[in-house]
Amino acid sequence: MMAGPGDETAAAAGGRLRASHADRERVIGTLKAAFVQGRLMKDEFDERVSRTFASRTYAELGAVTADIPAGLTAVPPLPAPARALAQPPANIEAGIRASIVITVCAALIWAALIFTDDVAVFLSAVGASATAFVAWFLTGTQVLGCWLDKRSGRDTSRSGHAHTVSQARAILGQ
């Protein structure tokens, strides 16, 4: 176990002071570092981790790491990947679903137009088709924005692609 503040009291008490969860976690960190460095075999590591969780006092924790060098530091965490393969934002998925529903509705209205010559059905079909076109256009700009963000290395998980609205306006000239 590594020496730290208050260890003099523990040593003076003969190691009878009770260890905390943080003390056990520190010892497990030292065991992990020793395992990664090849100082412990897998079965020995598992056995010592079990003993660490069963330890109640500083003396018991000290016995677990007695033959491991005192200055052993924990293994540094792995660096985060440069580009995580994130799922598309929920608003893009919702936009795709809405576009599909609108397109199906427009197709059904056009199919109904085959059986009738009503002008209202024709206007409904044209209106539904126009709505489907706009829905697909807006969804497409969101997908394009997500793709551009991934190519530029921007974090797409937090942005929510609110900036794609301004991109769509720029495309439309508004």
Show the domain range for 100.
Answer: 90-172
Q: What is the mean pLDDT of residues 138-167?
A: 67
Q: What is the mean pLDDT of residues 6-34?
A: 76
Q: Say how far apart CA 68 and CA 27 lie, in whole Å.
A: 11
Residues 59 and 102 in one domain: no
Structure confidence at residue 74 as a pLDDT band (50, 70, 90): low
pLDDT digits (tens, 9 = 90+) for 100-117: 888 888 888 888 888 888
Is 166 part of a structural domain of the chain?
yes
pLDDT digits (tens, 9 = 90+) for 31-67: 998 888 888 999 999 999 999 999 999 999 889 988 8
Residues 59 and 94 in one domain: no
Is 84 part of a structural domain of the chain?
no
Residues 60 and 94 in one domain: no
Answer whether residue 93 shows pLDDT above 60: yes
Residues 97 and 168 in one domain: yes
Using a pLDDT cut of 70, give the percent of the chain over it.
68
Residue 15, H or E segment: none
Residue 8's SS3 state is helix
Domain final residue, candidates 16, 47, 64: 64
Residues 105 and 31 in one domain: no
Q: Say how far apart CA 123 and CA 125 lie, in whole Å.
A: 5
Using a pLDDT cut of 90, give the percent of the chain over it.
13
Q: How many CB atoms lie within 10 A of CB 128?
A: 19
CA 38-42-43 angle, to 5 degrees, is 135
Confidence (pLDDT) at 8: 44
Residues 162 and 98 in one domain: yes
Residue linked to tokens 């991934």:
150
pTM of the model: 0.38
Q: Say how far apart CA 101 and CA 21 lie, in whole Å.
A: 54
Residue linked to tokens 């797409």:
156
Is 69 part of a structural domain of the chain?
no
Residues 52 and 94 in one domain: no
Q: Say how far apart CA 117 and CA 172 lie, in whole Å.
A: 35
Instruction: Name the more confident of 94 and 165.
Output: 94
Residues 36 and 94 in one domain: no
Residues 164 and 99 in one domain: yes
Confidence (pLDDT) at 47: 94
How many structural domains compose the chain?
2
Instruction: Name the more confident of 91 and 161.
Output: 91
Residues 110 and 159 in one domain: yes
